């Protein structure tokens, strides 16, 4: 620097000039021999960069000085801050972070760590997941650029309780990667314009796996990357507990937010727009919750959901996505009872495809609480919860009658009596099962539509519109004859001598 250069133009903090205590020897404490910046930033004068600060040492480092040496000094003294002044730091080596050391620049785009298109990176040292973690450290108010390290310009592993505050990572091979790194806050950071993912979490490297996640991303951007904006698609699924709040995923070559390898995440007030694949690609093996999120003009789907454990609350689309706005087709055969979609705009799924086609309630897809695990529809008008008094379980679709020997009035059984006037209806299910166990309560459909009623042709064939009654073969209904008590009307003709058919159950009556 020029001999008369004002040190404050480098971002020197005047508040660091400490008043010596009255009992001082008039000598500023110096516990280390390294004279960082001496004769460079502060040639002459009486300021000393090795002064003590409440909460730890503060070392200021100017462009051209050794950042790693400052980190190591602060670490050996028990912790503190390495303050980077404004300007570009041309780096040709890795920077290894240490516990209790905080790196603070003068501001985004003001302090720039430039790796000059080399494969060096900023990383935490290797350790073990239990006893040797890098902890209580942070990076704030600076930009990192031009690292070609495929594992991320920032690579945190075996680390916890860390903070990223107002940093930008751009024009790198991968913005940032974490593995066995937990309990973190990432605030107002940008992971933009990188040639792979903006931010990636991995569950395993080289056969070693460990918990990764428990990270909150607040007001961050994951934009215009050549991979995903955010990615945790690797296995095993030990990535969990991540929360994204007011984050943007814009213009990425792949997905905006791609979470298919985690055991759960939450996204609140986030936007995924103009990505070349899906806006939100949700395939976690655990639970995912998206609240008031928006996905517009993505080349494939806005919300592509391939897991049944998902909750969408108030999610919306303002401008249509190319294929579908909301795509749940990949979980059509899964258990929809675990999915909740409330207040989300499902009005259009893409050109020529509308929500009423994708989400119509047909026999193959809808499941209600009264259907157990069945994939067929039962539209109930009247349902009773009654105790099975048989010695065996009674399967769904079986014809049952009231047990006249019951002293409580809430028991049922099967019958082998033709036209039994005690007919109650059709067994539906137990709690989460397709049958009702002995001495267990279950649901009995007494009136309403079903597609599961067991019938047999008996002495004559069943046709549409025939009245049905109990039969001499337990569990089955047959075509009623004069003198029978009927309880249902056949809505289709069975194709075999015994079958399950569509029927409408009505109040029992004598014919």
Q: % helix / strand / coil in the chain, to the nearest 5?
A: 5, 45, 50
Using a pLDDT cut of 90, give the percent of the chain over it. 53
Alpha-carbon gap, residue 377 to 364, rounded angstroms: 8
Cβ contact 387:441 at 8 Å: yes
Which tokens is 372 given? 């157990």
C-alpha span between 196 and 211 (Å, rounded)? 23
| 108: containing domain | 1-155
Q: What is the pLDDT of residue 413?
A: 92
Mean pLDDT of 199-214: 86
Asked whether residue 282 is assigned to any structural domain, the reply reads yes
- Cα angle at 397 between 433 and 464, to 5 degrees? 150
User: Residues 343, 270: one domain?
Assistant: yes
Reading the block at residue 68, the tokens are 């790693």
**173 assigned to some structural domain:** no
* pLDDT score for 334: 42
Please indicate, yes or no, if residue 179 is contained in any of the structural domains: no
Contact 223, 251 (CB under 8 A): yes
pLDDT of residue 377: 47
Query: Does the residue 92 lie in any domain?
Result: yes
Q: 85 and 105, same structural domain? A: yes
- Extract the tokens encoding 438: 């002995």
Note whether 498 and 462 are within 8 A (CB): no
The answer as to whether 95 is a domain residue is yes
Q: Which of 17-26, 120-129, 192-201 has the highest mean pLDDT?
A: 192-201
Asked if residue 355 and residue 214 are part of one domain, the reply reads yes
**Cβ pair 317, 295 in contact under 8 A:** yes
Query: Phi/psi of residue 258, each to 5°?
Result: -120, 100
- In this predicted model, what pLDDT tens digit does every residue of 142-183 receive, in sequence order? 999 999 999 999 999 999 999 999 999 999 999 999 999 999
Looking at 155, 189, 220, the residue that finishes a domain is 155
pLDDT (0 to 100) of residue 430: 56
Contact assessment for residue 237 and residue 210, using Cβ atoms and an 8 Å cutoff: no
Across the range 27-36, mean pLDDT stands at 37
pLDDT confidence tier of residue 278, bands split at 50, 70 and 90: very high
At 87, the pLDDT band (50, 70, 90 cuts) reads very high
Closest by CA position to 202, among listed 230, 178, 228: 178
pLDDT tens-digit series, residues 43-64: 333 333 444 444 568 999 999 9
pLDDT exceeds cutoff 70 at 20: no
Residue the block writes with tokens 């936007």: 271
What is the helix (H) or strand (E) element at residue 141, kind and residue range?
Answer: strand 134-147
d(CA 283, CA 261): 7
Are residues 11 and 149 both part of a single domain?
yes
Judged against a pLDDT cut of 60, whether residue 31 lies above it is answered with no
- Give the Cα separation of 192 and 245 in Å (integer): 17
More confident residue, 481 or 434: 481
Report yes or no on 175 lying in a domain: no
pTM confidence score:
0.63
Residue 458 has pLDDT above 50, yes or no: yes
Residue 296 lies in a domain: yes
pLDDT > 70? residue 412: yes
Which one of 360, 380, 409 terminates a domain?
360
- Residues 122-136 have a mean pLDDT of 80
Q: How far is CA 134 from CA 211, 279, 305, 437, in A?
A: 15, 34, 36, 56
Number of structural domains (the chain) is: 3
Looking at beta carbons, which pairs linking 296-302 to residues 24 or more positions away fall under 8 Å? 296/271, 296/272, 296/320, 296/321, 297/273, 297/321, 297/322, 298/256, 298/272, 298/273, 298/274, 298/322, 299/275, 299/323, 300/276, 300/324, 301/325, 301/326, 301/327, 301/350, 302/272, 302/278, 302/326
Average confidence (pLDDT) over 339-349: 55
* Residue 121 half-sphere exposure toward CB, CA atoms < 13 A: 23
pLDDT for residue 379: 52
- 20 and 147 belong to one structural domain: yes
Mean pLDDT of 131-148: 94
pLDDT at 283 (0 to 100): 85
Do 343 and 397 lie in a common domain?
A: no
Q: Please check whether residues 382 and 497 belong to one and the same domain.
A: yes
pLDDT of residue 375: 44
What pairing do the DSSP bridges indicate for beta strands 287-291 and 310-313? parallel
Length of the chain equals 511
* Domain shared by 289 and 330, yes or no: yes
For residue 190, tell me if it sits in a domain: no
Residues 207 and 356 occupy one common structural domain: yes
CA gap 179, 440 in Å, rounded: 49
Of the candidate ranges 75-79, 285-289, 394-398, 443-447, the one whose mean pLDDT is the lowest: 285-289
As a three-state string, the secondary structure of 310-349 is EEEECCECCCCCCCEEEECHHHCCCCHHHCEEECCCCCEE
Question: Which residue among 360, 391, 412 closes a domain?
Answer: 360
Give CA–CA dist 23/160, Å, rounded. Answer: 40
Instruction: Compute the mean pLDDT over every residue in the chain, rounded to the nearest whole number.
Output: 81
What is the average per-residue pLDDT within 282-288? 80
The pLDDT assigned to 187 comes to 97
Query: Hey, what are 276's tokens?
Result: 């070349």
Same domain, 324 and 405: no
Same domain for 432 and 351: no
Average pLDDT over residues 103-123: 96
Percent over 70 (pLDDT), the chain: 75
Asked if residue 268 and residue 224 are part of one domain, the reply reads: yes
What's residue 459's pLDDT?
66
Q: Is the pLDDT of residue 366 over 70?
A: no
């Amino acid at each position: 620097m020029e001999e008369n250069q004002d040190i404050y133009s480098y971002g020197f903090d005047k508040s660091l000039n400490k008043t010596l205590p009255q009992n001082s020897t008039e000598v500023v404490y110096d516990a280390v021999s390294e004279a960082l910046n001496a004769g460079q930033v502060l040639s002459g004068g009486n300021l000393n960069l090795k002064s003590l600060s409440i909460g730890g040492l503060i070392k200021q480092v100017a462009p051209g000085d050794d950042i790693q040496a400052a980190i190591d000094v602060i670490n050996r003294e028990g912790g503190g801050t390495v303050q980077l002044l404004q300007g570009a730091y041309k780096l040709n080596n890795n920077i290894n972070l240490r516990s209790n050391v905080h790196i603070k620049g003068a501001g985004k785009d003001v302090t720039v760590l430039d790796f000059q298109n080399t494969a060096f990176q900023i990383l935490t040292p290797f350790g073990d997941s239990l006893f040797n973690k890098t902890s209580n450290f942070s990076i704030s108010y600076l930009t990192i650029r031009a690292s070609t390290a495929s594992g991320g310009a920032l690579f945190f592993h075996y680390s916890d309780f860390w903070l990223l505050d107002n940093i930008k990572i751009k024009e790198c091979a991968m913005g940032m990667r974490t593995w066995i790194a937990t309990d973190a806050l990432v605030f107002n950071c940008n992971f933009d314009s990188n040639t792979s993912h903006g931010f990636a979490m991995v569950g395993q490297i080289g056969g070693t796996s460990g918990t990764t996640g428990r990270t909150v991303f607040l007001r961050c951007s994951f934009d215009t990357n050549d991979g995903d904006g955010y990615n945790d698609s690797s296995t095993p699924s030990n990535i969990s507990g991540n929360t994204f709040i007011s984050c943007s995923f814009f213009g990425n070559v792949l997905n905006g937010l791609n979470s298919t390898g985690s055991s759960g995440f939450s996204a609140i007030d986030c936007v995924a727009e103009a990505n070349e694949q899906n806006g939100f690609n949700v395939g976690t093996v655990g639970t995912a919750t998206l609240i008031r999120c928006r996905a517009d003009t993505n080349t494939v789907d806005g919300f592509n959901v391939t897991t049944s454990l998902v909750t969408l609350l108030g999610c919306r689309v303002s401008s249509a996505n190319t294929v579908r706005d909301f795509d749940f087709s990949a979980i059509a055969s899964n258990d929809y009872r675990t999915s909740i979609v409330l207040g989300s705009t499902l009005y259009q799924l893409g050109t020529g495809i509308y929500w009423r086609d994708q989400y119509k309630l047909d026999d193959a897809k809808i499941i209600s609480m009264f259907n157990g695990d069945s994939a067929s529809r039962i539209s109930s008008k009247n349902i009773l919860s009654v105790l099975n008094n048989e010695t065996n379980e009674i399967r769904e679709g079986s014809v049952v009658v009231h047990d006249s020997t019951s002293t409580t009035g809430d028991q049922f059984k099967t019958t082998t009596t033709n036209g039994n006037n005690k007919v109650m209806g059709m067994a539906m299910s137990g709690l989460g099962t397709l049958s009702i166990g002995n001495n267990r309560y279950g649901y009995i459909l007494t009136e309403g539509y079903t597609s599961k009623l067991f019938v047999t042709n008996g002495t004559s064939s069943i046709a549409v519109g025939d009245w049905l009654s109990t039969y001499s073969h337990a569990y089955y209904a047959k075509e009623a004859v004069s003198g029978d008590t009927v309880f249902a009307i056949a809505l289709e003709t069975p194709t075999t001598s015994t079958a399950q058919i569509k029927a409408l159950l009505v109040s029992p009556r004598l014919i």
